[in-house]
Every structure is written in structure tokens, then in C-alpha cells.
Amino acid sequence: MKFHGTAHKYGRDIDTDVIIPARYLNTSVPEELAKHCMEDLDPEFVSKIEFGDILVAEENFGCGSSREHAPIAIKSAGVSVVIAKSFARIFYRNAINTGLPIMESPEAVEGISDGDEVEVDADAGTIVNVTRGETYRAQPFPPFVKEIIEKGGLIEAIKEKVSTR
Amino acid sequence: MPRPMTITEKILAAHAGLEGVEPGQLINCSLDIVLANDVTAPIAIREFRRTGAERVWDPERVALVPDHYTPNKDIKSAEQAKTMRDFASEQGISHYYEIGCMGVEHALLPEQGVVVPGDVIIGADSHTCTYGALGAFATGVGSTDAAAGMATGETWFKVPASIKFEVSGEFGEWVSGKDLILHIIGMIGVDGALYQAMEFTGPSIDSLGMDDRMTICNMAIEAGGKSGIIAVDDTTRAYVESRAERPWTEYASDPDAEYARIIEIDASALKPTVSFPHLPSNTRLAEESRDIWVDQVVIGSCTNGRLEDMRIAADVLKGRKAHDRVRLIIIPATQEVYRACIREGLTDIFLDANAAVSTPTCGPCLGGHMGVLAAGERAVATTNRNFVGRMGDPASEVYLSSPAVAAATAVAGHIAVPEDLE
């Protein structure tokens, strides 16, 4: 998987309540959720994002609630991949399960500034900052997790198990 | 001989069919209970259908609780609740709780004996970690994980390392489990226990009742923890014996088990604590926060809506009235707690204090309904999160506290401790 876009950079502890406020959780329609993505943190977010852009954040991205509406909103808003120094654990699982690519790379987050042009090769685990001519390494997924991603998400991965029951 | 293990490792090993496990190991675990609510179940049900499964793996091991936007706050919420109700009926889910039997999920399931010691539980709600107070491994997941759990009765975990919190010393008057967990989150930060299990032990923990223990484990997620856990003792047994609908298994950490960290805490040095906006880790002492005037006080939620919380609030509110600029909202977390409040005369105390007393709901905690804040308004709440916009407008503020501090604040009009009212 390869991605290419403009980086939009935010701080640490970006919680699921600002990613998608609970006042919109009376729906699970991805397009509806996308309209309000990050609005309490940055009301301009949705209008700034071009399809394929890259969300960059410091530590503990996605902390708080278990709402899967959060990765769904980010993905539907057009973000191709989230790069952070670390992810909150429920968000980490939810992103994998719903097919939102995420990468853990403290050095990339240090090196990337808001507005930089960035290229990501998720399989190779490399992040290239085109604007600055720098390359960073990301943590590879554990093989078990990679298998889920390769099968197209958790539901696809367990279909076989369900059909043999 | 397997290596010495923590309580968490033992429970996970037993459910993975392994003699031993160690931190970092990826395992496939059988599940005892899978939970979802009216916000997370609609997505879980959609994903469940996509697996191709026609029936849940065991209709007696799936719990569905409509608590977030119920009683239905608007048409969209009504549709979500209906999706879950129809699914429960179609699948013959025995642990579905309609309005009138319903409670806030993490108060309800332990009270009804649905979750028991030694269980492995996943719930599509981050505060599922509450059940660790019973000596179970319980963790929050997303809707898709819950869907897979409902279809297969299994899930994968990375075995977490554990942090041990050894708490000794006597809790002071008006100092509770809430103050302890806020203090811990303030000390280690909102990602201080990221991916790890938080094990609470020591004589001070032993001295606490189940309601306080559930408050502590409930907020493990606010430190980034995968789970919180307290081993079974006589207090747990006394609570579980009359409630458990299944036999249970008790596990305890080996004395020489390995921990990522051991943190010692002196409970006698704790004072009533408040988390300032906009992170639970932003803690200060209540006695140093008297300059914060508030518009609303909420006492309730999966963190502090149990009977002991209601009793403490009533102790403070008895013979007093909420400040005339404060809207006081009290929400017993379950029907059983609600009824006990009436029986013990607590409801009269609340009504005499000019409180609005509501049927169980998560409502205001997540800014859903039943107490949403306007721009510029401030609330003190016994809930668990104070993120930007958590309880309403992004320009509103939430301060987290114990029921004692919340009740005293309601009377004083500003953040206060009960002693201030004398």
C-alpha cells in the first residue's frame, strides 16, 4: 500500500471526542460522520483535507472511547493514512479492523511539518518527506496483524472460521 | 513448570488453552461475555452480518444494553435502539435490557451477575474495563471486534505487561476510590499505562467496597490501560455470591510474578481530587480549586452512579439545597440503585436539595442528552472524561470529581469539599 499527500499535523492525546463528537453518534453513516471529523479541534479540517492527504499527530492518538465511528470518520473524510508517535490501543485495533492504515513512527512525526508533501510505503515501512528530502522508518505491524490487513480487515479474516462452524 | 504469572496472565492463559503466557505474546482467547450498547451495536450488527454468520455463537453470552441515548433522545437514536432491539429479538439474546429494566451497562452487568470473576469479557465500550473489579479480564474494543466476538466466541489479544499499584494507608474522610484513580492518572498521565494491565493491590484496596473498586477499574482506560484488575477477596465473594448466574473461577498473581512497574501509593496522603479541563490527567486538589464556579453538577455514570455513590452524595446534601445558580442532576445508574435510593430515603434528600433525579442513562456524560452544556458553561461531574466538547459545546468545560466533592460543589456553587459546608 502506497500513499501520497499533504500532511496535516496535530498535537498529542487527540481523543475520539474531538475526532467525532458524541453529539453525532446517533448515526453510523460514514458520509455523515465525515462531515464532522475533528470539528471541535479544527473547524477547517474537513474543508482542508484533499482525498489522500495524511494525518500526522504526536503521542496517544485516538485516546478515549471505543467508538469505531472515529476511524470511520477519518477514512471517510479522505485521509489515506494516520502517522503518530503512538496510538491508543482501542483506536489501534479499530483502525486495523476497519481498514484505516496507521503507522507508528516518532521520527517521522518529528520530521514532518504541517503542509509537507509526504509519501508512504506501508509495506516497506518507509515514510518519505518529499518537501524536506528525508526518509523515516515506521514500526512494522506484527505478522498476525499484517495477516488481518492483507485479508482486508477482521471480518474478511474470520469469514472462513464462521463458515466452518 | 510455567513461569510465575500475574492474575491477568493466568486468566488469559486459561482462556487461550495454554499453560502459560507472557507479555507481548499474541493469543487467541475464548470469550465469556461480549457486550455492545445502542451506539456501538448498530455497527457491530452490520459487521456481524458481513461475516456470513446467521446466529451468534451463544445467545446467553451476548449482552446488549440500550443506555447511551436512551430513553431515545431523537429519531436517529430511536432507530439505532430499534436496530439493537430487533437483533436481540431475532437472535434470542437473553441479556437484552429494555427501558425499565435497563441500567448503565457497567453498573448493570456486575449487579445482575452477568459478569463473574475469572471471565474474559470484551465490550464495545471503552469502560468495559470496569469488570476487572470482580477479578475478571475485561477490555473495551470497537464494534468490529465485538461483531467477530459475537460470531465466533473468540478474539485475539496481545498479552499485556502489568503495572502493580500497591496501595497502603487509611483513606481519609471524604476520600474515595475516585480520588485514588484520579491521583494515579494525574501521576502517570493519560497514556501512562498504554497497552498495559493495571493491577491494584494492598490493604487500602482490600478495605474498599465493590462500588469503589469498580470506580477505580472503570478509569483504567483513562490512563491508556488495556484493563484494570483487583483480585477476588471476601468482599468480592459477598458481592458475587447472591448475584452470579454462572460458577466462577478465582485467580491470583503469583508472589514472584513479573511487573513492568510497581508503584507504591500512600492512601492516607490522598485528598479530594479534581481533574481540570481538558484531560483526566490534569489533576489538582479540590481544596485548591474553590475559585471555579459552576453551572451544573452531574452525579451518576458508569464511574460513580452506584448505591454507595448515591449514599455519599445524600450524606453531603442532607438538609441542604443546591446553589441557586447550579443545576444539579442525579442519575442512579440502574433500576436497582434507583429503587434503593427511594427505599433508603436518598431520593427525598435529592429532591429536597432541588436535584433533577433521572431514570438510568449515560446521557450527560457524553454530551448526548439530559444535561448538555452551552458555550462557556462549566460542570463538575462524577463521570470519567473531560475532553473538549465532551458534555456539550466545545467551549464548555468539565471538571471530574468524586460524588462527595460534586455534592459539596452543588451546594457551594463553586468547587468545594464537604467540610466547606459546615
Sequence-distant (6+) residues with CB within 8 A of A110 are: none
Residues of chain A with C-beta less than 8 angstroms from the C-beta of B387: 15, 17-18, 64
Q: What is the pLDDT of residue A164?
A: 63
* B361 and B253 assigned to the same domain: no
Q: Which of B214, B241, B264 is the last residue of a domain?
A: B264
Averaged in consecutive runs of 10 residues, what is the pLDDT profile of chain A (165 residues)? 95 96 92 96 96 98 96 96 96 92 96 98 93 93 79 86 71
Are residues B46 and A41, on separate chains, in Cβ contact within 8 Å?
A: no
How far is B212 from B312, CA to CA, in rounded Å? 12
How many distinct structural domains can be found in chain B? 2
Q: Are residues B231 and B311 in the same domain?
A: no
Domain co-membership, B251 together with B233: yes
Q: Chain A interface, mutation test: which of B145, B275, B398, most A Cβ atoms within 10 Å?
A: B145
- How many whole angstroms separate alpha carbon A114 and alpha carbon B223? 28
Indicate yes or no: pTM above 0.90.
Answer: yes
Considering the domain architecture, whether residues B227 and B306 belong to the same structural domain is answered as no
According to the model, what pLDDT value does residue A165 have? 59
Query: Where does a domain end: B226, B243, B264?
Result: B264
Q: Are residues B260 and B356 in the same domain?
A: no
Under 8 Å between Cβ of B161 and B196:
yes
Within-domain flag for B1:
no
B116 shares its domain with B209: yes
* β-bridge mates for residue B63, sequence order: B35, B95
Chain B from 70 to 129: CB within 8 A of any A CB: 73-74, 76-77, 80, 123-126, 128
Low-confidence ranges of chain B (pLDDT < 70): 1
| Cβ–Cβ gap B125/A161 under 8 Å | no
Do B256 and B310 reside in the same domain of the chain?
no
Last residue of a domain, one of B264, B280, B302: B264
Q: Which domain holds residue B220?
A: 7-264
Task: Determine the residue type at A93.
Answer: R
CATH number of the domain where residue B201 is located: 3.30.499.10
Specify whether B241 is located in the same domain as B123.
yes
In whole angstroms, what is the distance from residue B384 CA to residue B421 CA?
25
CA distance A132 to chain B (A): 31
